[in-house]
Amino acid sequence: MYPPHLPPPACSLSAHERRERLKILLLGAALGLVAGISGAAIMLGWIWVPFDGANAWSVNVAHLGDTRSPLDSRFTDETASRVVYVYRDASSLTPATFAKSDSLAGTALLVSSDGWAVLYQPRFTGGIKTWRGIRKNGEVFAVEKALPDPATGLLYLKLAAVEKNSNDSSSPAPFPVSSFPERLAPGTILAVGQDNQWLATTVSYSRLSPTASSHSDSLPIERWTLDRTFMPGSPVVTAQGRLAGFIESDGSLLPFDAIQEVIGGLLSAEKIVYPTLGVEGWFSDEQPIINGTLRIDGFAVSKVLAGNQRLRRGDVLTTVNGLIVSFPNLWYATTRGSEVTLTVLRNKQNFTITLPVLVLKDGKAVKR
């Protein structure tokens, strides 16, 4: 017998020390394996429902989804207050009146405090006597006036009380008004109103809508493509609840610019009028404009409307108020001021000219 605390007589001291270190390493590896399995089980139980029987997956996805909420919760109620569901047919069923579900003309948004609302309705044929607008809070309104815009397919409706109380001399409460974003850009997160909910989407890119080779300089031709497909006529707002536009028949986003361009005439004269320089033609983004051996940016004039005697057919508008002529720049200049300063290319010579901003009326350019 040899003492148990000493190595066997045939074993060297160095071999004994190696065996002891190996035991410690094996023990550490076993403990590490147990810890790893425990951690993996915890993780699997958090993201995979069958491991723990809870609805952890849906909870975590919902949490992640909150960071991409299409409509900021602070603006949900505010946005809903500006929505009006428009029905073509309100029928009587004594003593009640009901709106037929299959007569929904579309979803409108209020754009003025005195009751003007706008929706996408390119097939408007008139006849608004039985039309009704219903707000989210249950208020019902008659449609007093309708102004279609053939250039965009938008329909502007003036809402009014269904029954006016002759003994009530107080002014009606102002309607909440939709505001507009400063601009749209690729990557902008939007919310589309469809099926009584707001669905998230993202702006992909802009494009010019197909038009005839020649059109008015103020015709809204810019469109935006989204990353998903939605029902035509659906209203679109930003995450802050600002009106970004409407979904067109081809799935494109008709942007808010088309509304802003005419809202001044709508509020002041109850007419759809477009600001213009009194010319027709096309932008270089639609068809290339060539000057000698160079392609240039601008607007090529193919027709001069009555009311403009200073521009000529064949002119190219190259700058407006110091900016290169493009649809956004020309639109901004004509909707923000009473006159613009242009650089015009004529017979290979550039010159500067200041012109008043006119409005289109019956195919003519007239003073505002």
Task: Give per-residue pLDDT as tens, 274-330.
Answer: 889 999 999 998 889 999 899 999 999 999 987 788 999 999 999 999 999 998 899
**Distances, alpha carbon 74 to alpha carbons 53, 78, 110, in Å:** 34, 8, 19
Beta bridge pairs of residue 191:
200, 237
Q: Tell which residue, 219, 332, 210, 221, has the closest CA to residue 272.
A: 219
Please give the mean pLDDT across all residues of the chain. Answer: 81
237 contacts 210 by C-beta, under 8 angstroms: no
pLDDT-derived band at 232, boundaries 50, 70, 90: very high
Amino acid found at 54: A
Confidence band of 359 (pLDDT split at 50, 70, 90): confident
The Cα-based distances of 47 to 36, 41, 44, 350 in angstroms read 17, 10, 5, 67
Other CB atoms within 10 Å distance of the CB of residue 4: 5
How many Cβ atoms are within 10 Å of 88's Cβ, its own excluded?
20
The residue ranking higher by pLDDT, 20 or 160, is: 160
Report the range of poorest mean pLDDT among 15-29, 196-210, 238-252, 256-270: 15-29
Give the distance between the most distant pair of CA atoms in the chain.
125
Cα gap 280→219, rounded to integer Å:
9
Say what the pLDDT of residue 34 is.
65
Cβ atoms of 316 and 350 within 8 Å: the answer is no
Question: Does residue 7 have a cis bond before it (omega within 30 degrees)?
Answer: no
Helical H segments across the chain, by residue range: 13-47, 49-52, 56-66, 76-80, 257-269, 327-336
Rounded-to-integer distance, Cα 199 and Cα 70, Å: 7
The amino acid at 265 = G
Confidence class for position 273, pLDDT limits 50, 70, 90:
confident
Q: Where are the alpha helices (DSSP H) in 48-175?
A: 49-52, 56-66, 76-80
C-beta separation of 142 from 199 below 8 A: no
Query: Are 347 and 313 contacting, i.e. CB atoms less than 8 angstroms apart?
Result: no
Is the pLDDT at 360 greater than 70, yes or no? Answer: yes
pLDDT value of position 204 = 95
Q: Is residue 188's pLDDT more than 90? A: yes
Q: What is the total residue count of the chain?
A: 368
Greater pLDDT, 211 or 266: 266
Per-residue pLDDT of 125-144, as tens digits, reads: 888 998 999 998 889 999 99
Q: Hey, which residues does 262 pair with through a beta bridge?
A: none
Dist. CA 69–CA 71, nearest whole Å: 6
pLDDT digits over 63-101, tens only? 223 334 466 677 788 889 999 999 998 665 445 566 667
Fill in the DSSP letter of residue 202: E
Half-sphere exposure of 263 (CA within 13 A, CB side): 19
